[in-house]
Amino acid sequence: MTIFILPELPFQKDALEPHMSANSLDFHHGKHHNAYVVKANELIEEKPELKNLSLEEIVIEAEKQNMEALFNNIGQHFNHSFFWNSLSPNGGGRPNGEILGKINEDFGSFENFREEFINTGIGQFGSGWVWLVENGKKLEIVKTANAKTPITDGKKPIIVCDVWEHAYYLDFQNRRPDFLASFLDNLVNWEFAKQNL
C-alpha cells in the first residue's frame, strides 16, 4: 500500500522561470523528491505501527526512535512538500499585513530580515534548509542540516528555502547567495506564510 504520495507542484512547471527553471524542477521535484517518497514507502513497511499517523507525526517519531533512514526520507518528503508551497509565480518582495508587522517587530525591519535569511542560508555548511519559523510568539530564522526539520524542535514552519546544491545548481551553479536573494525577491509565497502564522 502506498502511504506517501509525491504532491503535484502548486504551479505550472515553467511558471517560476527565469528564477527557477522547468528543467531544474524536473530534476528537483520529479527525481529528487520522488526518490525520497519511493524510499519512504519502502521503509514504512518495516514500521507498520506508524502508518496511521500524520506525516508530521511520523517525522517526529522517526527522529525520536532514531530511525535514521526513515527519518531522512520522510523528513525530506515533508521539507520538500513545504518548500513547493513556499514558492509562487506571484511571490517575492515585501509582504504586507500582519506578517510584515511581525517581521518588523522581531527583526527590526524587512531589510534586516532579508539579510539575516540570506546569511543564514549561506552559513548552512553543506546540505540543508533555511526556515522562517514561529517559536512561541516570536519569528526566528533557523537553519537545519540534511533532512532535519524544525517541527521536531516544536517550532512552527512559516516558509522554507532548500539550500541543497540540487536546488540551485542547474540555474545558479555554485552561487547560493544569488539563489537565496532570488528566492526572497522573486519567489517566496507570502500568502502561504500568512496561512501558517
Confirm if 174 and 196 have CB atoms less than 8 A apart: no
Phi, psi for 79 (deg, rounded to 5): -65, -45
> Is residue 61 part of the contact set for Mn ion (CB under 5 A)?
no
Place of cell 517525522: 59
> Residue type for 131, please?
W
Our CB check for Mn ion shows the closer of 50 and 147 to be 147
Pairing of strands 128-135, 138-145: antiparallel
> Is residue 131 part of the contact set for Mn ion (CB under 5 A)?
no
Segment near Mn ion (CB under 5 A); pick from 43-51, 87-95, 104-112, 162-170: 162-170
How many residues line the site for Mn ion (CB under 5 A)? 3
Query: From the CB of residue 130, how many other CB atoms can be counted at a distance below 10 Å?
Result: 24
- The minimum distance between CB 65 and Mn ion, in angstroms, equals 24
> Is residue 162 part of the contact set for Mn ion (CB under 5 A)?
yes
State which H helix or E strand residue 60 sits in: helix 55-64
Confirm if 134 and 143 have CB atoms less than 8 A apart: no
Residue of 71, 82, 117, 164 that binds Mn ion (CB under 5 A)? 164
Our CB check for Mn ion shows the closer of 61 and 162 to be 162
Our CB check for Mn ion shows the closer of 82 and 113 to be 82
Our CB check for Mn ion shows the closer of 82 and 107 to be 82
Residues lying near Mn ion in the complex (CB under 5 A) are found at 162, 164, 167
